């Protein structure tokens, strides 16, 4: 472990991805932007203390995911435009992927929240071994230090990619032929990627999206208006109280969730879990048809 959950495996695989992209013309702007960060990582592999004196900040760590995502696109033999202006003010989309129809893909990373850090501590020694642990309790004095609080924070981070308070919709235009997708780098969810497909379903669809066998995992929160305990609603769920949800329902076709473990080539394709927007796809089969043209969708 380096700092803020970055691992040697992530560093090595990201640098390998950057090396693979060095001969890919469309990836040039991304590599130019990330070069100072990647240089610090290369130096850190040789001298770990030099890195610890100047560790990456969360926004810089997010760029590492962009490099690995670009490698996944390149490995699939497709091209893209980095930092594409889609006509929504001066905001840009991370990648315009050159398919027919084109895909506009924005990336968002879920880093350890401050509430999670405060809930993290050393567990009691077991047989002489001290282990790192965390306690996220529904009954925590600070409601943010709960799995429910982490889910709401994740929804807020995702929503911030489509809507900005006082500004309105950002990045994604109203649908006009292209497929709009948010790719969620979820390795920081619940600290070190403890989320699963049940979490992703509830984040997107609310409790109705959780399969029957996993209903007991549905997360609740206390509605500040009614003071009643209620299931957390999904971003694609009509009536969701989050301000960004309406924009997400109008402009976002798909949310993909990936919590990398090995950071190796192929993992993004093999492990991403996709949630489609029922408001923009009439039937599930329509969403599957769209995804069948997405080269990073694992069909089996």
Q: Where are the domains of the chain?
A: 1-75, 79-291
Determine how β-strand 179-185 pairs with β-strand 103-109: parallel
- What is the pLDDT at residue 270? 96
**Helix axis angle, 28-46 to 8-21, nearest 10°:** 140
Q: Are 143 and 222 in contact (CB under 8 A)?
A: yes
Q: How many CB atoms lie within 10 A of CB 178?
A: 19
Q: What is the mean pLDDT of the chain?
A: 87
Tell me the two tokens of residue 235.
């971003």
Cα–Cα distance for residue pair 52/284, rounded to 1 Å: 47
DSSP 214: G
| Each residue's pLDDT tens digit, 144-186 | 457 899 999 999 999 999 999 999 999 999 999 999 999 999 9
- What is the pLDDT at residue 195? 86
Reading across the β-sheet that carries 93-97, which strands appear in turn? Answer: 80-84, 93-97, 103-109, 179-185, 254-258, 273-276
The set of residues, in sequence order, having a beta carbon less than 8 Å from that of 129 and lying 6+ positions away, is none
232 band by pLDDT with thresholds 50, 70 and 90: very high
| Mean pLDDT value of segment 256-262 | 95
pTM score: 0.87
């Amino acid at each position: 472990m380096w700092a803020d959950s970055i691992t040697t495996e992530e560093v090595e695989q990201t640098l390998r991805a950057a090396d693979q992209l060095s001969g890919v013309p469309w990836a040039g702007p991304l590599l130019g932007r990330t070069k100072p960060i990647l240089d610090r990582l290369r130096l850190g592999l040789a001298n770990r203390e030099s890195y610890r004196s100047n560790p990456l900040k969360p926004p810089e760590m997010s760029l590492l995911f962009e490099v690995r995502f670009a490698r996944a696109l390149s490995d699939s033999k497709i091209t893209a435009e980095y930092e594409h202006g889609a006509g929504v003010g001066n905001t840009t989309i991370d990648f315009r992927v050159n398919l027919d129809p084109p895909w506009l893909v924005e990336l968002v990373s879920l880093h350890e929240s401050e509430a999670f850090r405060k809930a993290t501590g050393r567990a009691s020694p077991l047989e002489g071994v001290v282990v790192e642990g965390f306690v996220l309790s529904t009954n925590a004095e600070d409601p943010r230090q709960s799995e429910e609080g982490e889910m709401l924070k994740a929804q807020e981070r995702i929503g911030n990619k489509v809507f900005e308070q006082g500004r309105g919709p950002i990045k994604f235009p109203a649908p006009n032929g292209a497929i709009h997708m948010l790719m969620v780098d979820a390795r920081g969810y619940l600290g070190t990627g403890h989320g699963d497909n049940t979490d992703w379903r509830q984040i997107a669809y609310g409790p109705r999206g959780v399969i029957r066998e996993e209903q007991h995992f549905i997360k609740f929160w206390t509605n500040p208006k009614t003071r009643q305990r209620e299931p957390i609603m999904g971003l694609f769920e009509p009536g969701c109280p989050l301000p960004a949800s309406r924009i997400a329902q109008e402009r976002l076709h798909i949310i993909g969730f990936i919590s990398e473990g090995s950071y190796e080539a192929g993992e993004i394709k093999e492990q991403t879990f996709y949630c489609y927007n029922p408001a923009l796809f009439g039937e599930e089969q329509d969403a599957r048809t769209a995804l069948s043209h997405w080269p990073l969708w694992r069909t089996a």
